[in-house]
Amino acid sequence: MDGKITKMPKVAKVKNKAPAEIQITAEQLLREAKERDLEILPPPPKQKISDPEELRDYQHRKRKGFEDNIRKNRLVIGNWLKYAQWEESQKQVQRARSIYERALDVDHRNVTLWLKYTEMEMRNRQVNHARNLWDRAVTILPRVSQFWYKYTYMEEMLENVAGARQVFERWMEWQPDEQAWQTYINFELRYKELDRARQIYERFVMVHPDVKHWIKYARFEENHGFINSARKVYERAVEFFGDEELDERLFIAFAKFEENQKEHDRTRVIYKYALDHIPKDKNKELYKAYTIHEKKYGDRSGIEDVIVNKRKYMYEQEVIENPTNYDAWFDYIRLVENEANVDDVRDTYERAIANVPPSKDKQFWRRYIYLWINYALYEELEAEDIDRARQVYKTCLELIPHKIFTFSKIWLMFAQLEVRCKNLKQARKTLGMALGMCPRDKLYRGYIDLEIQLREFDRCRILYQKFLEYGPENCVTWIKFGELETLLGDIDRARAIYEVAVGQPRLDMPELLWKSYIDFEVSQGETDKARQLYERLLERTVHVKVWLSYAKFELNAENPDNINVELARRVYERANDSLRTAGEKESRVLLLEAWKDFETEIGDEDKLDKVMAKMPRRVKKRQKIVSEGGVEEGWEEVFDYIFPEDEMVRPNLKLLAAAKNWRKKQTLPESIESNTVSEQDKENEHSDNSGSNDES
Q: What is the pLDDT of residue 674?
A: 46
Using CA atoms, how far apart are residues 456 and 12, in angstroms rounded to an integer? 133
Is 578 part of any domain? Answer: yes
Residue 576 in contact with residue 592, Cβ under 8 Å? yes
Q: Does one domain contain both 213 and 148?
A: no
Decide which of 264, 298, 332 is a domain's last residue: 298
How many other C-beta atoms lie within 10 A of the C-beta of residue 415? 25
Q: Does one domain contain both 609 and 561?
A: yes
Residue 329 in contact with residue 371, Cβ under 8 Å? yes
How many other C-beta atoms lie within 10 A of the C-beta of residue 160? 16
Decide which of 256, 274, 298 is a domain's last residue: 298
Is 446 part of any domain? Answer: no
Residue 332's identity, in one-letter code, is Y
Q: Does one domain contain both 217 and 293?
A: yes
Is 668 part of any domain? Answer: no
Is 102 part of any domain? Answer: yes
Q: Does one domain contain both 158 and 216?
A: no
Q: With a cut of 50, which residues of the chain have pLDDT below it?
A: 1-2, 671-696
DSSP annotation of 19 reads: P
DSSP helix/strand/coil, 166: helix
Residue 556 in contact with residue 531, Cβ under 8 Å? no
Q: Does one domain contain both 583 and 647?
A: no
**Domain span at residue 239?**
209-298
Q: Does one domain contain both 224 and 183?
A: no
Q: Does one domain contain both 148 and 202?
A: yes
Q: What is the pLDDT of residue 654?
A: 56
**Mutual orientation of helices 178-190 and 145-157 as an angle, nearest 10°?**
10
Sign of the Cα pseudo-torsion (496, 502, 508, 509, in order): positive
DSSP helix/strand/coil, 40: coil
DSSP helix/strand/coil, 581: helix
User: CB-based burial of residue 367 (10 Å sphere; 0-12 exposed, 13-18 middle, 19+ buried)?
Assistant: middle
Q: Does one domain contain both 101 and 180?
A: no
pTM of the model: 0.52
Q: Does one domain contain both 276 and 201?
A: no
User: CB-based burial of residue 625 (10 Å sphere; 0-12 exposed, 13-18 middle, 19+ buried)?
Assistant: exposed
CA dihedral 455, 456, 461, 464 (to 10 degrees): -80
Bridge-based pairing of strands 632-642 and 617-626 is: antiparallel
User: What's the gap between Cα 168 and its chain centre?
Assistant: 58
Is 156 part of any domain? Answer: yes
DSSP annotation of 18 reads: S
Is 669 part of any domain? Answer: no
Decide which of 298, 320, 337 is a domain's last residue: 298
Using CA atoms, how far apart are residues 151 and 161, in angstroms rounded to an integer? 12
Q: Does one domain contain both 216 and 294?
A: yes
Q: Does one domain contain both 644 and 604?
A: no
The domain tally of the chain equals 5
Is 357 part of any domain? Answer: no
Is 280 part of any domain? Answer: yes
* Integer Rg of the chain from CA: 58
Using CA atoms, how far apart are residues 247 and 237, in angstroms rounded to an integer? 10
Residue 390 in contact with residue 417, Cβ under 8 Å? yes
Q: What is the pLDDT of residue 306?
A: 66
Q: Does one domain contain both 644 and 610?
A: no
